[in-house]
A and B are shown apart, each in its own frame.
Chain A
Amino acid sequence: MDNESAGFGAKDRETEHMSSDNQQPFVTDSSNVATDTREARLAGQDDRFNSRLREAFGSSPFILTKFDKFMNWVRGSSMFMLQFGIACCSIEMMHTYAVKHDLDRFGAGVPRASPRQADVIIIPGTIVSKFAPRMKRVYDQMPEPKFVIGMGSCTISGGPFQEGYNVVKGAEEVIPVDIHVPGCPPRPEALIYGVAKLQERISNGESAPVVVKPYELEQFGDLERDEIVDQLSKEIDTEDLVMRYNWADSP
């Protein structure tokens, strides 16, 4: 059906063309084509060119804005996500990137495998003691400005595993988070909503990340000496980077 109509369209155009301009072949009629394009742009005959932006600006190709504002708009409109999977939520995250939900439609669906190319990290899952230092590392490797979306209850509080001996009680204990998307797991629609909210905030220049109580990566030698540090001093070099968990103070 599609093919047919396209065929007819082409034919129509051809006949029309032939009749208006005596027997000149279409391809060589270059000036005419250029005029068509310009007209289409300005007069709004062709929807493809007639973006809303163009409409707003009228025929002038110049806009005046603040550079900051422009940059924020750019940042919000083209976000590179880090390809980062942890637990169950990453399955829904994959669905968000893939067919049906297609996050790319919103200018935020290019997963990058390297943190050095990414602007946004979605934390999709439970963070446990062994993984938190690595996650901090990955986060540190991302270039500024960077944004964090916490996906799922696990990144809010530890979720269903909140009482586990090994579970970090939320991503905010390790890195700053801009947007929380609750759910276990959040539906893809919810994640898209979270991403859209983040984009909105970025383009308004109002992102304010929160850190509750950072577990820092520090050198073992810099830790305050107490019982456990004494005990481990044979096993860990003073220069080794460590993360110390004070579970008793966790929420």
Chain B
Amino acid sequence: MSVELPDTTGVAEQSPEEIADLLGDLVIGREEHLNAPGFVIKPDTVVETLKRLRDDAGFDHLSCVTAQEYEDRFESIYHLTKFDDRTQEVSIVVPADKENPVSQSANEVFRTADWHEREAYDLVGINYDEHPDHRRILLPETWQGHPLGKDYDQDQPQVVPLREHQNPLLEDQQADNQSETMYLNIGPHHPATHGVLHIKAVLDGEQVVDLEPDIGYLHRCEEQMCQSSTYRYQIMPYPDRWDYISAGLLNEWAYARVAEDMADIEVPEYAQIIRTMGAELCRMAAHFLALGTFALDIYGDFTALFMYSIRDREKVQNILEDLTGQRLMFNYFRLGGVVWDLPEPREDFFENVRDFLDELPTALEEYHDMMTSNEILQMRTVGTGVLPPEVAKSYGATGPVARGSGVDYDLRRDDPYGYYENLDWDVVTEDGCDNYSRLLVRMREVEQSAKIVEQCIDLLEDWPEDERNIQANVPRTIKPDDDTEIYRAVEGAKGELGIYMRADGTEKPARFKIRSPCFSNLQTLPEMSNGEYVPDAIASLGSLDIVLGEVDR
């Protein structure tokens, strides 16, 4: 009994040599990253290279763009993989000049490069040629310097204007133009934006003509924080605060996975099962909140559904608190395992989890009664916010957003880690591509998570007492070799949560880059909303289920 692996027989697999042949003399050098072969190319051949890889080799997923500064050069790395076979990866390394860092934009090939490159420009300072919208994205437009660059002075004063919120009507009237459009600010403090997101919308009557998410109101320098912390203990608390909707353990796993692969640490099976169980409980809690707030967005249901979902979250949080000692910021994983074993008495813990799982079907029934079979909700969500699979892929959408568009992609199965391979569960997809499908995917994923947790509980219950090994032997300090590079991802609550790390021989990473699923998912919002009514745009935003801590990092 185990999860049904995807059929990758039809997906061509290229050896590094074949890729090198395909790229021909575009390649000017080779690198070896722990996760994938790296090919160095010239900064003006980015489009050509990526096009060939996408069209001729099937690398259709630009997972992440990492930018960094070395002593002698700048560098952008394009991490490519395939939606049909996640285990195939390739890194395209694009060095740029130290004095005048310019590199060609990949926006023409992958739409997702748009935001990723803006971020790279903002934080590291690489300029992207032919980029359609070359501006800062996370920091205010008047910011001086690029904070993740080498010569940034953190003490210099900064001046931040409040001008994004100037009265836009004033300008319209002055320009006595013929246009009938109206400019509308939504957020950054607005109940429907799920945090501090600012949406600049241009409306024609009730319809959205153009919409632009403006992010960075919660840019907490997570990457800088991780770069100044040690691998062994100090980084682990930060992932909890990326996707903070109780998805803590899922995020911790992202870091644990990448660091364990880098330092070559083997995690005991028992710990893997505990991790799997904890992570799935987190996924349920995160999805519950997504359901509750979605209902709140769609028909202002603050009384019933929102409260129901909080009720169920409280149950999950109680279990997680028993397990980890914390309600929200768990800090439970350690490199090589977890920090402590299940709480004593174990029988009580198992019983609590079982009770919760037993009540879950009834609770879900309730959700279905009130949400999915509710006519109002159906009218608002069926057929609105349509995101065709091809568009979703081009924007690098993952998680429930991609699966709601019929893209069968789930890292738990496609790039197995933890104990998922050995358990019996299914990847949920829906073909509707609309807001309703994304909702359905989340609801059905809760069921699957429950199934996984149940199997984990069974396994843990029968585990022989003297083999309960919760942590591998890991040295106190970890110093991976100089210039080790790795990119690894896990399936977070919102999608592919990846981390790129480069070691420089010390006990802190030289570069720590977070690939956040929400960042890429949010990018699809204009595609879904342009031409639709304002309330549908709000529904689409709700269905994306973003969390700004992870978008802005």
A residues bordering B, Cβ < 8 Å? 83-88, 90-92, 94-95, 98-100, 113, 125-126, 128-135, 137-138, 160-161, 163-167, 184-185, 187, 217, 220, 223, 228-229, 231-232, 235-237, 240-248
Contact = CB atoms under 8 A, between A and B. Distances in A.
7 contacts: A85-B196, A128-B217, A134-B165, A187-B327, A228-B156, A228-B158, A245-B157
- Residues of B contacting A: mostly: loop
Nearest to A134: B188
Contacts of A86: 195-196, 218
Determine the interface band of chain B, counting residues with CB < 8 A from chain A: 35 or more
Interface string B134-147: 00000111101001
A134 B216 CA distance: 13
The 8 closest A-B pairs by CB, nearest first: A164-B221, A88-B244, A98-B310, A248-B155, A131-B217, A241-B162, A133-B162, A165-B147
Given A160-B225, A161-B221, A185 B328 contact: yes
B131 interface: no
A130 B219 contact: yes
Contacts of A235: 141-142
Given A128-B219, A220-B159, A245-B157, 6 more contacts: A87-B220, A99-B307, A126-B218, A165-B154, A228-B159, A245-B158
Interface string B298-340: 0000000011001101100000000000011100000000000
A130 B311 CA distance: 34
A135 B155 CA distance: 23
Contacts of A246: 157
Contacts of B196: 85-86, 131, 134
Contacts of A220: 159, 161
A198 B221 CA distance: 32
A94 B246 CA distance: 13
A165 B224 contact: yes
A99 B219 contact: no
Contacts of A92: 327-328
A95 B139 contact: no
B126 interface: no
Contact of A243 (B162, B194, B328): B162
Given A98-B307, A160-B241, A161-B220, A134 B225 contact: no
A230 B157 CA distance: 13
Contacts of A166: 139, 147, 219-221
A104 to B, nearest CB: 12
Contacts of A240: 161-163
Given A228-B158, A245-B157, A83 B218 contact: no
Contact of B310 (A95, A130, A161): A95
B70 interface: no
A167 B158 contact: no
Given A126-B220, A228-B158, A247-B157, A83 B244 contact: no
Given A91-B245, A248-B155, A83 B191 contact: yes
A236 B142 contact: yes
A220 B159 CA distance: 9
B154 to A, nearest CB: 5
Contacts of A132: 160
